[in-house]
Protein backbone atom coordinates (compact mmCIF):
# COMPACT_ATOMS: atom_id res chain seq x y z
CA UNK A 1 0.00 0.00 0.00
CA UNK A 2 1.34 3.39 -0.97
CA UNK A 3 1.97 5.98 1.61
CA UNK A 4 -0.49 8.83 0.88
CA UNK A 5 2.05 11.33 2.03
CA UNK A 6 4.64 10.13 -0.41
CA UNK A 7 4.61 11.97 -3.85
CA UNK A 8 4.38 9.91 -6.99
CA UNK A 9 7.19 10.72 -9.43
CA UNK A 10 5.87 12.02 -12.78
CA UNK A 11 5.91 9.68 -15.73
CA UNK A 12 8.57 10.48 -18.32
CA UNK A 13 7.27 12.29 -21.41
CA UNK A 14 7.12 10.17 -24.54
CA UNK A 15 9.91 10.84 -27.03
CA UNK A 16 8.98 13.30 -29.78
CA UNK A 17 7.92 11.82 -33.10
CA UNK A 18 10.19 13.05 -35.83
CA UNK A 19 8.78 13.42 -39.33
CA UNK A 20 11.15 13.43 -42.28
CA UNK A 21 10.29 16.24 -44.67
CA UNK A 22 8.58 15.00 -47.79
CA UNK A 23 10.74 15.31 -50.90
CA UNK A 24 9.67 18.19 -53.11
CA UNK A 25 7.29 17.16 -55.85
CA UNK A 26 8.82 17.11 -59.28
CA UNK A 27 7.39 19.79 -61.42
CA UNK A 28 5.58 18.59 -64.48
CA UNK A 29 3.93 21.86 -65.45
CA UNK A 30 5.76 22.12 -68.76
CA UNK A 31 4.24 18.88 -70.03
CA UNK A 32 0.86 19.86 -68.61
CA UNK A 33 0.92 23.17 -70.48
CA UNK A 34 1.98 21.45 -73.68
CA UNK A 35 -0.80 18.87 -73.30
CA UNK A 36 -3.36 21.62 -72.69
CA UNK A 37 -2.20 23.54 -75.76
CA UNK A 38 -2.37 20.44 -77.95
CA UNK A 39 -5.80 19.58 -76.57
CA UNK A 40 -7.04 23.10 -77.28
CA UNK A 41 -5.71 22.95 -80.84
CA UNK A 42 -7.36 19.58 -81.38
CA UNK A 43 -10.68 20.96 -80.13
CA UNK A 44 -10.41 24.01 -82.38
CA UNK A 45 -9.49 21.85 -85.35
CA UNK A 46 -12.40 19.52 -84.66
CA UNK A 47 -14.83 22.44 -84.41
CA UNK A 48 -13.53 23.87 -87.67
CA UNK A 49 -13.87 20.51 -89.40
CA UNK A 50 -17.39 20.08 -87.97
CA UNK A 51 -18.35 23.53 -89.18
CA UNK A 52 -17.13 22.77 -92.69
CA UNK A 53 -18.91 19.40 -92.68
CA UNK A 54 -22.21 20.96 -91.61
CA UNK A 55 -21.75 23.81 -94.08
CA UNK A 56 -21.11 21.41 -96.95
CA UNK A 57 -23.90 19.01 -95.96
CA UNK A 58 -26.50 21.74 -95.57
CA UNK A 59 -25.09 24.01 -98.30
CA UNK A 60 -24.71 26.78 -95.71
CA UNK A 61 -22.14 29.56 -95.60
CA UNK A 62 -21.27 29.62 -91.89
CA UNK A 63 -18.08 31.62 -92.44
CA UNK A 64 -19.63 34.02 -94.92
CA UNK A 65 -17.22 32.90 -97.63
CA UNK A 66 -19.35 30.86 -100.01
CA UNK A 67 -19.98 27.11 -100.19
CA UNK A 68 -16.91 25.02 -100.91
CA UNK A 69 -14.43 27.78 -100.13
CA UNK A 70 -11.25 26.75 -98.33
CA UNK A 71 -10.37 30.29 -97.23
CA UNK A 72 -11.87 32.62 -94.67
CA UNK A 73 -12.01 36.37 -95.21
CA UNK A 74 -10.20 38.39 -92.53
CA UNK A 75 -10.41 42.17 -92.19
CA UNK A 76 -6.94 43.69 -91.95
CA UNK A 77 -7.99 47.33 -91.81
CA UNK A 78 -11.56 48.56 -91.54
CA UNK A 79 -12.34 52.05 -92.81
CA UNK A 80 -16.10 51.74 -92.76
CA UNK A 81 -16.15 51.46 -96.53
CA UNK A 82 -18.28 49.34 -98.82
CA UNK A 83 -15.47 48.54 -101.23
CA UNK A 84 -12.60 46.20 -100.41
CA UNK A 85 -9.02 45.63 -101.51
CA UNK A 86 -7.73 42.09 -101.12
CA UNK A 87 -4.16 41.58 -99.90
CA UNK A 88 -2.58 38.39 -101.26
CA UNK A 89 0.81 37.56 -99.76
CA UNK A 90 3.62 35.52 -101.31
CA UNK A 91 6.39 35.07 -98.78
CA UNK A 92 9.37 32.74 -98.83
CA UNK A 93 10.47 30.26 -101.46
CA UNK A 94 7.84 29.71 -104.15
CA UNK A 95 6.99 26.05 -103.93
CA UNK A 96 4.31 23.76 -105.23
CA UNK A 97 4.33 21.33 -102.30
CA UNK A 98 2.05 21.31 -99.26
CA UNK A 99 3.27 23.71 -96.59
CA UNK A 100 0.09 25.05 -95.03
CA UNK A 101 -1.69 23.56 -92.04
CA UNK A 102 -4.87 24.58 -93.83
CA UNK A 103 -4.21 22.03 -96.57
CA UNK A 104 -3.42 24.46 -99.41
CA UNK A 105 -0.05 24.88 -101.02
CA UNK A 106 1.24 28.30 -102.05
CA UNK A 107 0.02 28.08 -105.64
CA UNK A 108 -3.45 26.83 -104.66
CA UNK A 109 -3.75 29.54 -102.03
CA UNK A 110 -3.03 32.30 -104.55
CA UNK A 111 -5.40 30.78 -107.10
CA UNK A 112 -8.29 30.47 -104.66
CA UNK A 113 -7.68 33.92 -103.20
CA UNK A 114 -7.86 35.42 -106.70
CA UNK A 115 -10.97 33.39 -107.44
CA UNK A 116 -12.62 34.71 -104.28
CA UNK A 117 -11.61 38.27 -105.17
CA UNK A 118 -13.01 37.87 -108.68
CA UNK A 119 -16.40 36.64 -107.44
CA UNK A 120 -16.78 39.31 -104.75
CA UNK A 121 -18.17 42.45 -106.38
CA UNK A 122 -17.07 44.53 -103.41
CA UNK A 123 -13.40 43.63 -104.00
CA UNK A 124 -12.22 46.29 -106.42
CA UNK A 125 -8.49 45.52 -106.61
CA UNK A 126 -5.79 43.18 -105.33
CA UNK A 127 -2.41 44.03 -103.82
CA UNK A 128 0.08 41.21 -104.31
CA UNK A 129 2.56 41.55 -101.44
CA UNK A 130 5.82 39.82 -102.44
CA UNK A 131 8.82 39.01 -100.27
CA UNK A 132 10.42 36.05 -102.00
CA UNK A 133 13.73 34.98 -103.59
CA UNK A 134 11.79 32.93 -106.17
CA UNK A 135 11.63 29.17 -106.35
CA UNK A 136 10.27 26.48 -108.63
CA UNK A 137 9.77 27.62 -112.21
CA UNK A 138 6.52 25.70 -112.66
CA UNK A 139 5.01 27.08 -109.44
CA UNK A 140 5.99 30.64 -110.38
CA UNK A 141 4.59 30.16 -113.88
CA UNK A 142 1.30 28.83 -112.50
CA UNK A 143 0.96 31.89 -110.27
CA UNK A 144 1.84 34.20 -113.15
CA UNK A 145 -0.84 32.67 -115.37
CA UNK A 146 -3.41 32.92 -112.58
CA UNK A 147 -2.67 36.62 -112.06
CA UNK A 148 -2.87 37.40 -115.77
CA UNK A 149 -6.14 35.46 -116.14
CA UNK A 150 -7.65 37.16 -113.08
CA UNK A 151 -7.02 40.63 -114.50
CA UNK A 152 -8.24 39.67 -117.95
CA UNK A 153 -11.45 37.98 -116.77
CA UNK A 154 -12.43 40.25 -113.88
CA UNK A 155 -11.09 43.57 -115.11
CA UNK A 156 -9.75 44.22 -111.61
CA UNK A 157 -6.17 45.50 -111.31
CA UNK A 158 -3.41 43.72 -109.40
CA UNK A 159 -0.71 45.90 -107.85
CA UNK A 160 2.55 44.14 -106.98
CA UNK A 161 4.09 45.50 -103.77
CA UNK A 162 7.67 44.22 -103.76
CA UNK A 163 9.19 44.40 -100.31
CA UNK A 164 12.65 43.40 -99.10
CA UNK A 165 13.21 40.69 -101.71
CA UNK A 166 11.37 40.04 -104.97
CA UNK A 167 14.00 38.43 -107.16
CA UNK A 168 13.94 35.79 -109.90
CA UNK A 169 10.65 33.89 -109.45
CA UNK A 170 9.54 36.69 -107.12
CA UNK A 171 9.73 39.07 -110.07
CA UNK A 172 8.28 36.40 -112.37
CA UNK A 173 4.93 36.60 -110.55
CA UNK A 174 5.08 40.41 -110.38
CA UNK A 175 5.62 40.83 -114.13
CA UNK A 176 1.98 40.31 -115.25
CA UNK A 177 0.61 42.77 -112.67
CA UNK A 178 -1.03 46.01 -113.82
CA UNK A 179 1.29 48.05 -111.61
CA UNK A 180 4.60 47.14 -109.94
CA UNK A 181 5.87 49.08 -106.93
CA UNK A 182 9.18 48.57 -105.14
CA UNK A 183 11.09 50.13 -102.30
CA UNK A 184 14.28 51.86 -103.50
CA UNK A 185 16.23 49.19 -101.57
CA UNK A 186 14.19 46.18 -102.70
CA UNK A 187 16.41 43.41 -104.09
CA UNK A 188 14.89 42.39 -107.39
CA UNK A 189 15.92 41.32 -110.88
CA UNK A 190 17.92 38.07 -110.97
CA UNK A 191 15.99 37.20 -114.13
CA UNK A 192 17.20 33.75 -115.08
CA UNK A 193 16.90 30.01 -114.55
CA UNK A 194 19.21 27.62 -112.75
CA UNK A 195 19.41 23.86 -112.36
CA UNK A 196 22.28 22.32 -110.48
CA UNK A 197 23.52 19.14 -108.91
CA UNK A 198 26.67 17.54 -107.50
CA UNK A 199 29.00 15.05 -109.15
CA UNK A 200 30.69 12.85 -106.56
CA UNK A 201 32.34 10.33 -108.89
CA UNK A 202 35.80 11.55 -107.89
CA UNK A 203 35.09 10.74 -104.25
CA UNK A 204 33.72 7.31 -105.20
CA UNK A 205 36.88 6.51 -107.16
CA UNK A 206 39.01 7.37 -104.13
CA UNK A 207 37.19 4.91 -101.89
CA UNK A 208 36.88 2.20 -104.53
CA UNK A 209 33.16 2.39 -105.24
CA UNK A 210 31.92 1.95 -108.80
CA UNK A 211 28.29 2.34 -109.96
CA UNK A 212 26.58 -0.37 -111.98
CA UNK A 213 23.83 1.07 -114.18
CA UNK A 214 21.30 -0.67 -116.40
CA UNK A 215 19.22 1.60 -118.61
CA UNK A 216 16.81 1.43 -121.52
CA UNK A 217 18.27 4.30 -123.52
CA UNK A 218 21.49 6.27 -123.81
CA UNK A 219 19.99 9.36 -122.20
CA UNK A 220 17.97 7.65 -119.47
CA UNK A 221 20.65 8.47 -116.87
CA UNK A 222 21.29 12.01 -118.06
CA UNK A 223 22.93 14.17 -115.37
CA UNK A 224 23.47 11.17 -113.11
CA UNK A 225 25.57 12.31 -110.17
CA UNK A 226 28.06 9.43 -110.26
CA UNK A 227 29.13 9.73 -113.89
CA UNK A 228 32.76 10.11 -114.82
CA UNK A 229 33.62 13.07 -117.03
CA UNK A 230 34.19 10.88 -120.06
CA UNK A 231 30.74 9.29 -119.57
CA UNK A 232 28.87 12.59 -119.90
CA UNK A 233 27.88 12.84 -123.55
CA UNK A 234 28.06 16.20 -125.36
CA UNK A 235 24.46 15.68 -126.49
CA UNK A 236 23.47 15.27 -122.86
CA UNK A 237 24.92 18.65 -121.90
CA UNK A 238 23.26 20.19 -124.95
CA UNK A 239 19.85 18.80 -123.94
CA UNK A 240 20.13 20.18 -120.43
CA UNK A 241 21.19 23.58 -121.74
CA UNK A 242 18.29 23.59 -124.19
CA UNK A 243 15.92 22.91 -121.31
CA UNK A 244 17.33 25.88 -119.40
CA UNK A 245 17.26 28.15 -122.46
CA UNK A 246 13.64 27.28 -123.26
CA UNK A 247 12.58 27.99 -119.68
CA UNK A 248 14.55 31.23 -119.71
CA UNK A 249 12.83 32.32 -122.93
CA UNK A 250 9.48 31.71 -121.23
CA UNK A 251 10.61 33.88 -118.29
CA UNK A 252 11.58 36.75 -120.60
CA UNK A 253 8.33 36.38 -122.53
CA UNK A 254 6.34 36.75 -119.29
CA UNK A 255 8.28 39.91 -118.46
CA UNK A 256 7.95 41.37 -121.96
CA UNK A 257 4.23 40.73 -122.39
CA UNK A 258 3.39 41.68 -118.80
CA UNK A 259 5.10 45.04 -119.04
CA UNK A 260 3.60 45.70 -122.48
CA UNK A 261 0.06 45.01 -121.25
CA UNK A 262 0.64 47.20 -118.20
CA UNK A 263 1.92 50.05 -120.35
CA UNK A 264 -1.17 49.83 -122.59
CA UNK A 265 -3.49 49.85 -119.59
CA UNK A 266 -1.64 52.62 -117.74
CA UNK A 267 -1.46 54.85 -120.83
CA UNK A 268 1.86 56.47 -120.15
CA UNK A 269 1.40 56.88 -116.39
CA UNK A 270 3.70 54.01 -115.43
CA UNK A 271 7.10 53.00 -116.75
CA UNK A 272 8.00 51.08 -119.88
CA UNK A 273 10.91 48.70 -120.36
CA UNK A 274 13.98 50.29 -121.87
CA UNK A 275 15.02 48.92 -125.25
CA UNK A 276 18.11 47.15 -123.89
CA UNK A 277 16.32 45.56 -120.93
CA UNK A 278 17.39 42.04 -121.93
CA UNK A 279 21.00 43.03 -121.32
CA UNK A 280 20.06 43.17 -117.64
CA UNK A 281 18.20 39.84 -117.72
CA UNK A 282 21.40 37.89 -117.17
CA UNK A 283 20.85 36.84 -113.58
CA UNK A 284 22.15 40.05 -112.03
CA UNK A 285 20.29 41.50 -109.06
CA UNK A 286 19.01 45.06 -109.08
CA UNK A 287 17.95 47.44 -106.36
CA UNK A 288 14.50 48.93 -106.69
CA UNK A 289 15.82 52.29 -107.84
CA UNK A 290 17.76 50.75 -110.73
CA UNK A 291 14.79 48.53 -111.63
CA UNK A 292 12.68 51.70 -111.81
CA UNK A 293 15.16 53.32 -114.21
CA UNK A 294 15.05 50.27 -116.49
CA UNK A 295 11.26 50.04 -116.47
CA UNK A 296 10.96 46.80 -114.51
CA UNK A 297 8.86 48.63 -111.90
CA UNK A 298 6.41 51.53 -112.23
CA UNK A 299 6.84 53.30 -108.91
CA UNK A 300 9.07 53.55 -105.87
CA UNK A 301 7.35 53.57 -102.50
CA UNK A 302 5.95 51.60 -99.60
CA UNK A 303 3.13 49.13 -99.06
CA UNK A 304 0.85 52.03 -98.17
CA UNK A 305 1.69 53.62 -101.52
CA UNK A 306 0.74 50.34 -103.22
CA UNK A 307 -2.65 50.41 -101.49
CA UNK A 308 -3.16 54.02 -102.57
CA UNK A 309 -2.26 53.09 -106.14
CA UNK A 310 -4.73 50.18 -106.07
CA UNK A 311 -7.50 52.60 -105.01
CA UNK A 312 -6.54 54.98 -107.80
CA UNK A 313 -6.54 52.26 -110.47
CA UNK A 314 -9.89 50.96 -109.20
CA UNK A 315 -11.36 54.47 -109.17
CA UNK A 316 -12.33 54.48 -105.49
CA UNK A 317 -11.49 56.79 -102.60
CA UNK A 318 -11.68 54.42 -99.65
CA UNK A 319 -11.70 50.67 -99.05
CA UNK A 320 -11.38 48.11 -96.31
CA UNK A 321 -8.28 45.91 -96.53
CA UNK A 322 -8.91 42.18 -96.33
CA UNK A 323 -6.99 38.96 -96.83
CA UNK A 324 -7.95 35.31 -97.19
CA UNK A 325 -6.69 32.78 -94.67
CA UNK A 326 -6.94 29.01 -94.56
CA UNK A 327 -8.91 27.87 -91.47
CA UNK A 328 -7.31 25.58 -88.92
CA UNK A 329 -8.22 21.98 -89.68
CA UNK A 330 -7.76 18.79 -87.76
CA UNK A 331 -6.03 17.14 -90.72
CA UNK A 332 -3.68 20.07 -91.15
CA UNK A 333 -2.96 20.13 -87.43
CA UNK A 334 -2.02 16.47 -87.41
CA UNK A 335 0.48 17.13 -90.18
CA UNK A 336 2.29 19.46 -87.79
CA UNK A 337 3.12 16.50 -85.57
CA UNK A 338 6.05 14.71 -87.15
CA UNK A 339 7.35 11.21 -86.58
CA UNK A 340 10.13 10.75 -84.05
CA UNK A 341 12.42 7.90 -83.02
CA UNK A 342 11.43 5.77 -80.05
CA UNK A 343 12.03 7.51 -76.75
CA UNK A 344 11.84 10.99 -78.23
CA UNK A 345 9.05 13.53 -78.63
CA UNK A 346 9.14 15.77 -81.68
CA UNK A 347 6.93 18.81 -82.24
CA UNK A 348 6.97 20.08 -85.80
CA UNK A 349 5.65 23.63 -85.86
CA UNK A 350 5.25 23.57 -89.61
CA UNK A 351 8.17 25.93 -90.31
CA UNK A 352 9.52 23.81 -93.15
CA UNK A 353 11.51 25.23 -96.01
CA UNK A 354 11.32 23.38 -99.30
CA UNK A 355 14.44 21.45 -100.21
CA UNK A 356 16.23 22.58 -103.36
CA UNK A 357 16.25 19.41 -105.43
CA UNK A 358 18.86 18.48 -108.00
CA UNK A 359 17.59 18.17 -111.55
CA UNK A 360 14.67 20.57 -111.11
CA UNK A 361 14.78 24.04 -112.74
CA UNK A 362 14.42 27.03 -110.44
CA UNK A 363 13.92 30.73 -110.92
CA UNK A 364 15.69 31.45 -107.68
CA UNK A 365 18.05 34.07 -106.33
CA UNK A 366 20.83 32.35 -104.36
CA UNK A 367 22.82 34.93 -102.37
CA UNK A 368 26.35 34.07 -101.29
CA UNK A 369 26.69 32.70 -97.76
Helix (H) or strand (E) holding 182: strand 179-182
The DSSP 8-state label assigned to residue 16 in this structure reads P
**Is residue 228 within 8 Å of 164, Cβ to Cβ?**
no
**Residue 48 annotated to the active site:** no
20 three-state secondary structure: coil
CA-nearest of 319, 368, 363, 331 to 86 is: 319
Alpha helix (H) residue ranges in the chain? 29-58, 106-119, 137-154, 169-172, 201-207, 234-266, 288-294, 303-314, 330-335
The DSSP string of 318-365 is --EEEEEEPPP-HHHHHHTS----TT------S-PPPP--TT--EEE-
Q: Would you say the C-alpha torsion 342, 348, 106, 110 has a positive or negative sign?
A: positive
Rounded alpha-carbon distances, angstroms, from residue 308 to 85, 127, 161, 206, 354: 10, 10, 11, 63, 34
Q: What distance, in Å, lies between the first and last C-alpha atoms of the chain?
A: 106
Angle at which helix 234-266 crosses helix 137-154, to 10 degrees, equals 20
**Is residue 161 within 8 Å of 303, Cβ to Cβ?**
yes
Say which of 220, 257, 265, 311 is annotated catalytic: 220
Say which of 132, 154, 168, 190 is annotated catalytic: 168
Cβ-based burial of 136 (10 A; exposed 0-12, middle 13-18, buried ≥19): buried
Distance CA 73, CA 328 (A): 13
**Residue 220 annotated to the active site:** yes
Catalytic residue set: 168, 220
Amino acid sequence: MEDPGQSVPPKPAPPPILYAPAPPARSGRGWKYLALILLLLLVLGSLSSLQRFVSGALDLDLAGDGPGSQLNEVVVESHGATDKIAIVEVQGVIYGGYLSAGGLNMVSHVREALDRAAKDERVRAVVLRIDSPGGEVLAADDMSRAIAAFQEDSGKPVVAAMEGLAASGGYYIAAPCRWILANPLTITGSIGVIMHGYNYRGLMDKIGVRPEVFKSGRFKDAMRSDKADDEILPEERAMMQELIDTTFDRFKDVVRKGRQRAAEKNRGVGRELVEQWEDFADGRVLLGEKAFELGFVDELGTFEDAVARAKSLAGILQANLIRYEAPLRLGGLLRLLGKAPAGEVKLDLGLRLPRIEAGRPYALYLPAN
